[in-house]
Amino acid sequence: MSKYWSKITQSVEPYVCGEQPKDKKYIKLNTNESPYPPSPRVLDAIKNAANSDLRLYPDPDCDKLRQTIAEYYNLNKEQVFIGNGSDEVLAISFLAFFNTDKPIIFPDISYSFYPVYAGLYNIKYKLAKLNEDFSIPVDKFLTGNGGVVIPNPNAPTGRCLGLDSIEKILNYNSENVVIIDEAYVDFGGTSSVGLIEKYPNLLVIHTLSKSRCLAGIRLGFALGREELIDGLNRIKNSFNSYTVDRIANEAAIEAIKDENYFEQCVDKVENTRQWVIAELKELGFNIVPSKANFIFITHPTYAAKLIFTNLRKKGVLVRYFDKDRIDNYLRVSIGSDEDMKFFIKKLKEIIDEIN
Amino acid sequence: MSKYWSKITQSVEPYVCGEQPKDKKYIKLNTNESPYPPSPRVLDAIKNAANSDLRLYPDPDCDKLRQTIAEYYNLNKEQVFIGNGSDEVLAISFLAFFNTDKPIIFPDISYSFYPVYAGLYNIKYKLAKLNEDFSIPVDKFLTGNGGVVIPNPNAPTGRCLGLDSIEKILNYNSENVVIIDEAYVDFGGTSSVGLIEKYPNLLVIHTLSKSRCLAGIRLGFALGREELIDGLNRIKNSFNSYTVDRIANEAAIEAIKDENYFEQCVDKVENTRQWVIAELKELGFNIVPSKANFIFITHPTYAAKLIFTNLRKKGVLVRYFDKDRIDNYLRVSIGSDEDMKFFIKKLKEIIDEIN
């Protein structure tokens, strides 16, 4: 603790992200990255953007990228907000929309950055306890909140909420912003984007880090009514005018435009997920139904923490959360078929070694 | 105004950055960009980084870049903090160090983002009125503040403060953080970096947008004692774990390493500044002494606003601030010799047309 730290610096509990190992080469199934490289069109766009124009600031409004995203989702560009990764978009959204006397609400088992944002901005929150099967208890979000945040599919569980349930939540919370964090929606979920026309309180957040294979480029966006996007811009322009650089702009445009490549990558992940689940069931694991590029698994006999530690020793990183209710689960990102065969092989070795 | 906006969204007065025109090609002397492209080594590094690893998150700690910067400044890497442009570094610094009952203090004529940050985080501030010649009144910073921010050289004036004066301010404000914003220091100023060893309350902020010709890549950094850098990391990791992407990381490393190219660019800007000042004096302009890549000029006869408007019509953008005390000044970035010849030519035309 330093005497120079502000009260907020003293009190925050920073987010701890999944390990980015530097010691040796691992099979990385711990941060839900895509096992596939970005579209070749993205790589070409980056190479083309490596030119003398880098001496100039980027377009602070990302007009061309917003137009591209708007066309993809059948919106107009005033309904699109761009940020330096969806984490930044979320952080800006918390500050832009949440600070009434009433607490905001999000699931107790969820993306662990939400309580961190709340801590950073002194926003009161309460947790909606997930049902025993980790499904989202819709009724608990109908309680007079100061705002709602739901990841759909949820992380780290992978479970999805239907649009009928989301509409119920949107209707009840008509005076507050409801954020649907769709980081993982492309892997089998149903997007709420189509509800934007009907609900002025809906903000949908996406990222290029998962289904677009671009975690390394830092690009996220929010979709919603113009008044919400205006609010986000007011905060962003009070923080950093140019959050997205020239290269990321060009890369993102091509990532959105190359629909074929995107669909191929998503299909491959879904196919791999299917056979991995079957193999894990053979080994006696229980798997939470997943519409994401990860699965959340537990075993009635072998402790998750022990498996986690032994996988690490054998060169496979998965994510273990030492938290109430989920401390016997592992979140495993869906890698390539080759990665997942290695993972299953090592898992079998570990089970053999324990027995 | 939307009912969904938080109080802070309603009350902020966002920063308005220098125009990035989309309508036609201008000679851009309005945002202090470098007229020179980034080092060829930087462009090569970007092309090399356009590979399949972009599917992976970047190193959240930017270890390699921090090591490179530390070596350049004779520090260790725990004394370096990296951000998505120096605006982000400043925003994080305000939140990390300023929130006591006492107001922070910065010059009345200065970077106009400072009051915006203060507004965003509800930080009280007072303005130290610059002397008539726009020099910084050191005594006004010796008043029991909650923090100090001084750009050195100052913007938009270009005036520099000597290290003896900075030491006086550091000594008096030993209980508060003193931020020296050195965005423009490479063009003839003296950096305070050497004082970090002596003063635990000193934070020095730099950017690659000006002297490193990389405004398009968004990279800034802070240098200071480890306890200050730790504070910045606590806030950053409560906001966005991965603020700097893989491409920007690699680009920045090469930009710092290519010292020859950097020195050549800086020399050229200084040489151009010299002859431009001489020409402007010929035309009757008064020029504030500048150690930056811009000059702050006024004319006893011709109104700044009129010149600004007419320059724009003739395809030259400069910056005009419609603010008390400086509303008859223009801030003119130093472009290439060719740009500046065009600027002087158009200026002469305008003066002829008025007469």
Domain boundary among B224, B258, B292: B258
Q: Do A193 and A298 belong to one domain? A: no
Quote the Cα angle for A185-A190-A191, to 5°: 70
Please check whether residue B1 lies inside any domain of the structure.
Answer: no
Q: Do B161 and B125 belong to one domain? A: yes
**Using one digit for the tens of pLDDT, what is the confidence trace for A56-110?**
999 999 999 999 999 999 999 999 999 999 999 999 999 999 987 899 999 999 9
Please check whether residue A1 lies inside any domain of the structure.
Answer: no
Among A328, A355, A6, A53, residue whose Cα is nearest residue B34:
A53
pLDDT at A271: 98
Q: B304 lies in which domain range?
A: 7-37+260-354
d(CA A88, CA A102) in angstroms, rounded, equals: 24
Assign 3-class secondary structure to B86-103.
Answer: HHHHHHHHHHHHCCCCCC
Q: Do B24 and B78 belong to one domain? A: no
Domain boundary among B258, B292, B310: B258
The answer for residues whose C-beta is within 8 angstroms of residue B171's C-beta and 6 or more apart is: B199
Q: What is the DSSP string of B262-303?
A: HHHHHHHHHHHHHHHHHHHHHTT-EE----SSEEEEE-SSS-
Question: What's the pLDDT band for B1 if we cut at 50, 70, 90?
Answer: confident
Please check whether residue B113 lies inside any domain of the structure.
Answer: yes
Residues 161-200 of B with CB under 8 A from A: 175-177, 200
Query: Nearest C-alpha of chain A: how many angstroms from B115?
Result: 9
Q: Do B146 and B85 belong to one domain? A: yes
**Using one digit for the tens of pLDDT, what is the confidence trace for B198-244?**
999 999 999 999 999 999 999 999 999 999 999 999 999 999 999 99
Domain boundary among A227, A258, A289: A258
Number of domains into which chain A is organized: 2
The dihedral over CA atoms of A20, A22, A23, A28, expressed in degrees to the nearest 10, equals: 40
Q: Do A122 and A19 belong to one domain? A: no
Q: Which helix or strand (DSSP H or E) is residue B181 part of?
A: strand B178-181
Contact assignment for B47 to A50 by CB distance below 8 Å: yes
Contact assignment for A20 to B88 by CB distance below 8 Å: no
pLDDT at A129: 97
Q: Do A183 and A153 belong to one domain? A: yes
Q: Do B116 and B211 belong to one domain? A: yes
Given a cut of 90, whether residue B101 has pLDDT beyond it is no
Which tokens go with B223? 């240098």
Quote the Cα angle for B236-B107-B29, to 5°: 80
Name the average pLDDT for chain B.
96
Q: Do B101 and B212 belong to one domain? A: yes
pLDDT at A20: 77
Please check whether residue A13 lies inside any domain of the structure.
Answer: yes
Please check whether residue A2 lies inside any domain of the structure.
Answer: no
Domain containing A81 — which CATH number? 3.40.640.10
Domain containing A286 — which CATH number? 3.90.1150.10
Residue A30 near residue A318, CB atoms below 8 Å: yes
Which tokens go with B179? 């931020």
Write down the ipTM of this complex.
0.96
Q: Do B121 and B177 belong to one domain? A: yes
Secondary structure class of B224 (helix, strand, coil): strand
Q: Do B148 and B81 belong to one domain? A: yes
Among B168, B209, B164, residue whose Cα is nearest residue B185:
B209
pLDDT at B297: 98
Q: Do A211 and A308 belong to one domain? A: no
Given a cut of 90, whether residue B19 has pLDDT beyond it is no
Q: Do B82 and B197 belong to one domain? A: yes
CA-to-CA separations, A115 to A8, A119, B120, in angstroms, rounded:
14, 6, 20
Secondary structure class of A149 (helix, strand, coil): strand
Please check whether residue A271 lies inside any domain of the structure.
Answer: yes
Specify the residue for token string 């662990």. A112
A119 vs B: CB within 8 A? yes
B56: chain A residues, CB-CB within 8 Å = 20, 28, 33, 215-216
B230 vs A: CB within 8 A? yes
Contact assignment for B238 to A55 by CB distance below 8 Å: no
Contact assignment for B9 to A213 by CB distance below 8 Å: no
Specify the residue for token string 């606003």. B305
Given a cut of 90, whether residue B42 has pLDDT beyond it is yes
Please check whether residue B2 lies inside any domain of the structure.
Answer: no
Query: Nearest C-alpha of chain B: how many angstroms from A226?
Result: 10
CA B71 centroid distance within chain: 22
- Low-confidence stretches of chain A (pLDDT < 50) are none
Query: Nearest C-alpha of chain B: how many angstroms from A233?
Result: 9
Contact assignment for B50 to A52 by CB distance below 8 Å: no
Please check whether residue A214 lies inside any domain of the structure.
Answer: yes
Q: Could you say which DSSP state residue A261 is in?
A: H
Query: Nearest C-alpha of chain A: how many angstroms from B161?
Result: 24
